[in-house]
Structure 1
Amino acid sequence: MTNSDRSPAPFGRALCAMITPFTEAGALDLDGARCLADRLVREGCDGLVLNGTTGESPTTSDAEKSALVRAVREAVGDRAHLVTGVGSSDTRHTVDLALAAGEAGADGVLVVTPYYSRPPQDALEAHFTEVADASELPLMLYDIPGRTGTRIEPDTMIRLAAHPGIVAVKDCAYDLLGTQRVLARTELAYYAGCDEQVLALYAVGGAGYVSTVANVAPGLMRAVLDAFDGGDTAGAARLMRRALPLIEATTGAGLPGTVTAKALLASLGLPAGPVRAPLRPAGRETADGLRAVLAEVTDEFAAV
């Protein structure tokens, strides 16, 4: 597949689901956020997703969310697209957060399926439509039923695609067949939200990824897409396989990606700080194992 065959990527191709750094006292570390954002953009990210799951959005205040967007915008300017999470279980609150995101300088908003209440599909459609009607920013829908308890069904997604303000999806549904149904019938830009699916989704027409692993290995994740776009599909597959041990250690080892990404960033001497409760930091043995995997994977990548 050539780039002309895929839907436009409204927020770039290589997006990092950026962690939110905190000070050791647990306060928002805006200087650290500026440092991380600048590094990520310099090393290959053309978009950043703030205030998402990896950004610990359930434990940050509305004011902190806006402050983070402003700080990162100051750091990256127009070098990268900024998408910020505004999802909640309350439609009115989600609308308020979307409006605040525009004032803070975001380019788009990430709207997760309302969680816990498990609304039926018609209620989901009404929720996303109300947010899209109210927001001046384009929406990226976040389909992650494993966390929210509710899937955005493909037929619902197809109907939502008719709204001009709904332009993209962060796909964590683990349903490649359903995703391809939507891709075939809409112009929605699909971003892999699960790192192990980056190449698979890109190969069938996805727009790119929103990656947790990119916090610590942005160049490696970007290289997968670059190889594929350059026609080296075998090389893209090799790079994807090379990244798998780090993906598994970061997102598939039983700990939230926030916890493992912050442990790795700290080992690199980069701003991260603690996680906020109820999350707990990685233990020493886990952190040592993560560092060993990162060193092996990045050394192999550098040797290519």
Structure 2
Amino acid sequence: MKVHKITGVFCAATTPITEQGEPDLARFTGHCQRLLSEGCHGVALLGTTGEANSFSMRERFAILEAALKAGVPGDALLPGTGVVASSDTIELTRHALSNGVRKVVMLPPFYYKGVSDDGLFAAYARIIEGIANPDLQVILYHIPQVSGVPLSQDLIGRLIEAFPDQIVGIKDSAGDFNNMQSLVETFPGFSVLAGADPLLLPLLKAGGAGCITATSNLVAGSLRTIYDKVAEAGETGSVEAAQARINAYRTLSNSYVQIPTIKAMVELKTGEAGWRRTRAPLMPLSDVHFASLSKSFNALP
């Protein structure tokens, strides 16, 4: 049986913003440390929930460097480095590697739609060959409802065959459990990570590797309970209770636009004013919606 190279509970971390509209590095690093203390194996920063595509290259460098400077281990960080231009993806990934971060989450080039598997393979090959670093471990990012560019199983198979030491996993955020299960069965040892919190439990039972999810900003401990106890005899009750709590938080986070709502819920959880801020084009929850969310949040288990 092949062993997953990447496994565990990883948070798709949200990125706090200052009053001036810049990344709030001090608050972010505190959030990373809190996530690790609550049970996350690592932090997947600069992803969809982290508003990555609203930040410049310079800002992305600064966010990653701040986490490392604050003492977050490089092995616990999974920065998103996939952007539209392959040359920028190479630069972002090289920056991570130069700072001791080996694992990255990589979107495909996502501006052009309807591109072929040959085109996507050529793009990923150019990136990996351009980086030319044997330490690199890439988690592919499949989120076609946002990127508009799906990653087919044929493409994934070609990439694994061509780059077996670099293409080690996938974050599947499409919400299709059948696709995740098929990936687990087709590619033994390939780390299939759920991008939706309710799918962690069934994916682990099917042989998956873990998750990278938004609700772990709020209930990391419950996700860790599922990861740790899913196969333990006599722990069915605690696992089911953890899943019910996760589902409740996930449902509430989808009551409004998810990313601003996650940030508002982090503010409610921590009591730290300022978490609601977003970078345009995303807009923070209105005071009316925040008041309604607060009532529902206080009633959660």
- TM-score when normalising by structure 1: 0.88
Residue by residue over 1:33-86, the C-alpha shift from the partner in whole angstroms, topping out at 9 and shown as x without a partner, is 111111111111111011111111111111111111111122344386101111
Partner of 1:192: 194
Kindly provide the CA deviation profile for residues 169-214 of structure 1, in whole angstroms up to 9, marking residues without a partner as x. 0011233223222212322101111122121212211111111111
Structure 1: which 5+ residue stretches go unaligned?
Answer: none
1:124 corresponding residue in structure 2 = 120
Contact 1:37 1:76 in 2 (8 A): no
Aligned length: 291
**What code does the residue aligned with 2:96 have?**
A
Distance 1:43 1:241 in 2: 18
Q: Distance in 2 between matches of 1:161 and 1:216?
A: 33
Q: 2:285 — aligned with what?
A: 282
Equivalent in the alignment of 1:146: 145
Equivalent-residue separation in structure 1 for 2:227 and 2:61 (angstroms): 31
Instruction: Kindly report which structure 2 residues correspond to 1:19-98, keeping only aligned pairs within 5 A, or say none.
Output: 19-78=14-73, 81-98=76-93
Distance 1:83 1:272, change over 3 A: same
**Partner in structure 2 of residue 215 of structure 1:** 217
Indicate the SS of the match to 2:139: strand
Partner SS state of residue 245, structure 2 = helix
Give the aligned residue type for 1:255: V
**TM-score, normalisation: structure 2:** 0.89
Match of 2:168 in 1: 167
What is the aligned counterpart of 1:294 among 277, 293, 297? 297
| 1:30, distance to aligned residue in structure 2 (A) | 1.1
Question: Is the contact between residue 199 and residue 237 of structure 1 (CA under 8 Å) also seen in structure 2?
Answer: no
CA distance, structure 2, for counterparts of residue 176 and residue 7 of structure 1:
21
Aligned counterparts of 2:296 and 2:229: Cα–Cα separation in 1:
23
Q: Secondary structure at the match of 1:169?
A: strand
2:130 to 110, 134, 142: 134
Deviation at 1:9, TM superposition (A): 4.6
Residue type at the aligned position of 1:203: K
Counterpart mapping for 1:216-235 below 5 A:
216-231=218-233, 232-235=235-238
**Partners of 2:29 and 2:70 within 8 A in 1:** yes
* Percent of residue pairs identical: 27
Instruction: Give the Cα separation in 1 of the matches to 2:3 and 2:174.
Output: 20
Match of 1:249 among 241, 247, 252: 252
Give the partner amino acid of 2:205.
A
Alpha-carbon distance between aligned partners in 1 of 2:282 and 2:180, rounded to the nearest angstrom = 31
Instruction: Describe how 1:233-272 pairs up with structure 2 within 5 A.
Output: 233-250=236-253, 252-256=254-258, 258-267=259-268, 268-270=270-272, 272=275
Query: 2:183–2:192: 8 Å Cα contact kept in structure 1?
Result: no
Give secondary structure in 2 for the equivalent of 1:274: coil
Q: Shift of the alpha carbon at 1:121?
A: 1.1
- 8 Å CA contact retained: 1:98, 1:131: no
Distance between the aligned counterparts of 2:24 and 2:228, measured in 1?
32
Q: 2 CA distance for matches of 1:247 and 1:273?
A: 17
